[in-house]
Amino acid sequence: MRISSLLENQKVEKRIAITPDIAKKYLSLGFDLALSENYGVHLGINDKEYKDCGVKIIKDNNELINNSDLILQLGLLSDDNLSLLKGNQNIIGVFDTYKNKDKLEKFAKNKINFFSLELLPRITRAQSMDILSSQANLAGYKAVIESFSLFEKAIPMMMTAAGTVPAAKILVIGAGVAGLQAIATAKRMGAIVFATDVRISSKEQVESLGGKFLTVEGEENLETEGGYAKEASENFKKKQEELLSETLKKIDIVICTALIPGKKAPVIIKENMINNMQPGSVIYDLAAIQGGNAAFTKVDQIVDKNGIRIVGETNILNKLPVSASSLYAKNLFNFVVNLYDKENKKININLEDEIIEKTLIK
């Protein structure tokens, strides 16, 4: 069986799905492996490194796709490459099923199997495949670093003979994997950190990292069985808005990470709240690709509102592509191992396996 991976559109995605270390693992399982020419050059990995492992390098995408049983990607293939697919081929990646629903269902009807890894169930057995956690962890860390670079004051408290510089105050919106890593990183750098989330279970996690959890009076437990956040009631939103309005008056940097799977991101920081913030403050919005958590967020732009900068980030992992690729490739490998029937040397789409059943586009 042949596994292939095509080079992503470099303007959108710099991560890769197969690193040289992981390529060796696929080959050791008996797979044939083929990649696009210059597949990892932008990350400092030349084609020779792959060839030395036993990987075939193929220039023509048509040839690459036609001879593949299993295609591993980050995002959805271009329309031109999608048109080359044929029945019984299997494709694994992160396909933004909310945005690409119609397109994916159309190809699924043609017996092409798409497995979208953002749909993985949050169960113990799937932890080694959990791309949302591995990638969000890096995103939370990098968001803090990037926002600190834009903030024009020192982050930790500094006591000098000339006077004291106060510690920066950070607010993290959403205490999932990205949010928790943002809290931990900001604390390590000496900031005073606050956080808010609709999931009650987050309070203990936030406080264990040294953050102060902002509690909404009469809070609801807005957590799905799968551990994701769900939409809040209008009453909760109103109470949360009142709490945030007061808090934001003294906050220097806001890191936004709140997402609801398959839906537009909730707008949590409203225009009137931004107007009350201190000039020089920074809002770094990781939810920009799904609409953003802040009013005025624009994808891949820095919007200045009365001296407050609002940064919208499409794919912050393009700023950490080597680390992100390493983790993603390992997650993907673990998913393939679960999908592969070693004894019969074939892909086994066992719909009684929750991991496979939840990620397969039907």
Q: Please say if 326 is a catalytic residue.
A: no
Q: Please say if 228 is a catalytic residue.
A: yes
Q: Please say if 21 is a catalytic residue.
A: no
Choice among 47, 96, 122, 353 that is catalytic: 122
Choice among 15, 26, 130, 290 that is catalytic: 130
Choice among 4, 5, 133, 181 that is catalytic: 133
Q: Please say if 122 is a catalytic residue.
A: yes
Choice among 78, 83, 98, 127 that is catalytic: 127
3-state secondary structure the chain: CEEEECCCCCCCCCCCCCCHHHHHHHHHCCCEEEEECCCCHHHCCCHHHHHHHCCEEECCHHHHHHCCCEEECCCCCCHHHHCCCCCCCEEEECCCCCCCHHHHHHHHHCCCEEEEHHHCCCCHHHHHHCHHHHHHHHHHHHHHHHHHHHCCCCCCCEEECCEEECCCEEEEECCCHHHHHHHHHHHHCCCEEEEECCCCCHHHHHHHCCCEECCCCCCCCCECCCCCECCCCHHHHHHHHHHHHHHHHHCCEEEECCCCCCCCCCCCECHHHHHCCCCCCEEEECCHHHCCCECCCCCCCEEEECCEEEEECCCHHHHCHHHHHHHHHHHHHHHHHHHEECCCCEECCCCCCHHHHHHECC
Q: Please say if 83 is a catalytic residue.
A: no
Q: Catalytic residues, which ones? A: 122, 127, 130, 133, 228
